Amino acid sequence: MITGDAAYIKKINRALIIKEIIKEGMISRADLSKATDLTRATISAQVADLLEEDLIVETQLEYTGVGRKPIMLSLNGQAGYALGIDIDYGRISFTLSDLLGNCITSSIQELSTTDYSEVLQVVIETIKQLKATYADSRYGIVGVVIAIHGLVGKDEIIHYVPRFKWHDIDLKSAIETECQMDVHLENNANLSAFAERIFVHHEANNLLSTTFHSGIGLGMMMKDDFFRGHDGFAGEIGHMIVVPDGKPCNCGNKGCWEKYASESSIFEYLSEEKKIPNLTYEHIQRMIDEGDAAVHKVMDRFIYYISIGINNLINMYNPDVLVLDSELLRIYPDSITKISNNLTSSISHYREITLSAMGKKSCVMGACALAIKKFLDVPILNLSYEISQQNKS
C-alpha cells in the first residue's frame, strides 16, 4: 500500500490514470478503475480534474444494448504540442508532435557552420516562430527536447560535441532565457532508444538501440529509464576496442568499433576503392543488386564486425531487444539473419534483434516523446507510430 503525503499520492494516482488512458486509447471510468486498482471515487475526482484541464476528452460511443451509453475517456492530443530538435552536423531537424506523438510538422534547416552562436540563433528563431504559430492551443508548446550528438552530462551541460568542437556549453539555459520555455537536452542515441521503447517495443523494459551512421552510438533503456552512467556519458560504445592495435581513431585509441562497423567507414573505403567521390546509398544498392563481389565482401566484413560488437553488448547488458539503425543493413539482403547466425555463444541471452522501423527519424521523435512524458509527468508512455510519419513534412 502506498502511504505518505496526500498530494504525493494524488500525483501518483494521476500518473497511473493518464498512463492507462494513453495505453488503451479510449477507456471507460469503470475499466480505468479495474486497470489501476483505484476506487471509482478516486477515478471520478481525478477525471473531473483532467477534464477541467482539457487534458482528456469524453466520447459517447454508439450503443444498442440496455442501459447507459458508455462514455469513453481519451487523451486530448490537441491540448498542446511537443517540439523535438536534432542538432546534427550540417543540418538541424525540427519536428512538432501533438500530445499523442503524432507528427504535426517537420522541417530541416541546412547548416553551413559549426559556430555555436550562429547555430543557437537558428534554433531560437525557429522555436519562437513555432511558439507563436501554436500559441492558440490550451498549453501551446509544452516543452522542447534537443538531441545532442555528443557528451551531455546529467546537469544537461554539453561537455563535448566532436564534429562541432563544442566544449562545456550551457545551451539549455541560453534557450530557456531567450524563449521562456521548458528545455531539456539529451544524447541523440538515448533519444533513439527512447523512441523505440515508446513507439514500437512497448513490452521491452530493457532495450538497446545502436546507430551506425557517422560513428556508432548506443542508447540504453534499463527498466524503462535511461542508463547514463556516473556522469551521464555511458553509451560511447563506438570506442570499444574490437581490433587490438588496429586502425587509429580520433579518440586516441586504436581499433575502435566505429572504425570497422560504422557506415562512414564503409563509405570511406568503397568511395576510395570504386573511385566515386560522392558515394550514396543508391550507388551501393545498385552494386549489391548487380552482384558486385567486392562490395558483397565489404558488406559481409561490415556484418562480421557489427556482430562482434553486438555479441559484447548482449553479454554486458542482457537486453530484451536490440534495435539496429543502419540504412546499409536495410539494403543488404538478410542482414539481421546473418548477424544472428554469427552470435554463437551459448551464454548470450536476448529476445530479439531487429532493424529500426523508425530509422533516423527515431532521434527527433524520441525528443518529442520525452517532452510529452515530462509534461504529463508519467513514468512511461506507450504511443503509436505510423510509418507514414517518417515522410511527413
Residue where a domain terminates, one of 75, 90, 109: 75
Residue 68 structural domain: 6-75
Domain contains 172: yes
Residue 296 lies in a domain: yes
Task: Kindly state whether residues 65 and 115 are assigned to the same domain.
Answer: no
Q: Which amino acid is at 328?
A: L
* CA–CA distance, 326 with 55 (Å, rounded to integer): 37
**Could you tell me if 122 and 166 lie in one domain?**
yes
Residue 152: other Cβ atoms inside 10 A:
27
pLDDT, tens digit (0-9, with 9 covering 90-100), for 258-308: 999 999 999 999 999 999 999 999 999 999 999 999 999 999 999 999 999
Same domain flag for 141 and 71: no
Domain boundary among 48, 75, 102: 75
Question: Rounded to a whole number, what is the distance in angstroms from the first to the last CA of the chain?
Answer: 48
One domain for residues 20 and 62: yes
Give, in order, the Cα–Cα distances in Å from 86 to each of 150, 203, 213: 12, 26, 15
Residue 140 lies in a domain: yes
pTM: 0.90
State which of 75, 94, 117 marks the end of a domain. 75
Confirm whether 199 is domain-assigned.
no
CA–CA gap between residue 32 and residue 118 (Å, rounded): 49
90 and 174: one domain? yes
Supply the CATH number for residue 101's domain: 3.30.420.40
Residue 216 lies in a domain: yes
d(CA 221, CA 235) in angstroms, rounded, equals: 11
Residue 307 falls inside a structural domain: yes
Predicted local distance difference test score (pLDDT) of residue 6: 85
**Residues 221 and 343 reside in one and the same domain:** yes
Q: Domains in the chain: how many in total?
A: 3
Pair (238, 277) in one structural domain: yes
Q: What does the pLDDT profile of the chain (393 residues) look like in tens digits? A: 455 588 899 999 999 999 999 999 999 999 999 999 999 999 999 999 999 999 999 988 766 566 667 799 999 999 999 999 999 989 999 999 999 999 999 999 999 999 999 999 999 999 999 999 999 999 999 999 999 998 999 999 999 998 899 999 999 999 999 999 999 999 999 999 999 999 999 999 899 999 998 889 999 999 888 988 888 788 889 999 999 999 999 888 999 999 999 999 999 999 999 999 999 999 999 999 999 999 999 999 999 999 999 999 999 999 999 999 999 999 999 999 999 999 998 888 889 999 998 998 999 999 999 999 999 999 999 998 875 455 444
- The answer on 309 and 212 residing in a single domain is yes
| 175 vs 124: CA distance, rounded Å | 6
Q: Is residue 241 part of a domain?
A: yes
Do 146 and 242 have their domain in common? no
Q: For residues 63 and 85, state if they share a domain.
A: no
Residue with cell 509527468: 377
Residue 1 lies in a domain: no
Strand-pair category, 151-152 with 158-161: antiparallel
CATH number at residue 15: 1.10.10.10
Residue 287 and residue 382 share a domain: no
